Structure 1
Amino acid sequence: MGKVRVHNFTITLDGFGAGTDQRLEEPFGDGVDHLHDWMDPLFDGTATGLDAEVGLDAESFGATIMGRNMFGPIRGEWPDESWTGWWGANPPYHHDVWVFTHHPRAAVQMEGGTTFHFTDEPIEVVLDRAKAAAGEKDVIVAGGASVVRQYLRAGLIDQLDIAVAPILAGAGEPLFADLGNALKQYEVVQQISSPAVTHVRLVRR
């Protein structure tokens, strides 16, 4: 059985995983310009040094869990089923992806083996489904911050790999807010910096 992981989740120095007013034109919201600049070389194959070693690690994952905000900018009832994510016809996942939403809809099969499942089931139920789909591979809780917080509060994440970018947002979607004593279950086992970001690894004790 694989692990439940958060991988390469990037936050600002003051702890925000997204800014304010997320929308179609600004998927990560305002106030977080350059938050993910360090990842661009990963996708175009030009990353070097520590950032290249961290990598995308896509081969390790067999299923993904995400929130609706990560899937797209549409809120409330779906006007239709034309929106199938930010990633085009062939998303980068190539496995089953569960999308939390208060408005479930039929699953969407995409090119390359990605299938989006839309659910309002409890997080534990969704995780069980993702684990079954992943088999021996890991399940990635991809985001956004609200979904990661829910799984942290429940103590269901085994490992978090976080990239801390040297920018300040001041407001937005915080990663570590309202967690109570949940973080006491985790310890920092690695902290190392590249010129672009600081990579921090937390594992469950």
Structure 2
Amino acid sequence: MTPDNTPCLLVVDDDPAFNRVLVRALGPRGFDTYGATDSEGALELARDHEPEFIVLDLNIGGESGLKLIRPLLEASPGARILVLTGYASIATAVDAVKLGAVQYLAKPADIDSIIRALRAEGVRPEDHAPGAPLSVDRLEWEHIQRVLAEHHGNISATARALQMHRRTLQRKLARPPAGA
């Protein structure tokens, strides 16, 4: 908290425009906001300001944002981390929560949804699971995401594990199935 009891919020997203938009939109909603576009900047701001809330993109400069969860929590113990991603999957939602995130949202997410998610108590990864049976495309996507998470976002290692050409994997990752 800042001296005037305004909660501090850190936005970590490598897209500078999106980062600025979130920082500017969340400021007037009762937060003292800061933005970082890379891991080093995020950790430095977390150490300097000890934010109560952190909005973390799943992909930071081509690396998994999940790697930042523990260091951010070490720099700012008790912070509530929301993982925000354009490529949502059950596997990464579960991983994020296991690492210490309190919520997981798919982009696009409006400001009200982000604030509700940050303030919500107790996330359950199964809440993010679709109710209807998954399509074959969605099942493949989930499997790829799980293997990608197991290999810490390394595309080449994931392609080898899946016995798939790296370019084929990149094409599949660039086109998530409907609803992903």
Q: Normalised by the size of structure 2, how large is the TM-score?
A: 0.32
Structure with higher helix content? 2
More strand by share: 1
Give TM-score, length-normalised by structure 1: 0.29
> Highest relative contact order (Cα 8 Å, sep 6+), 1 or 2?
1
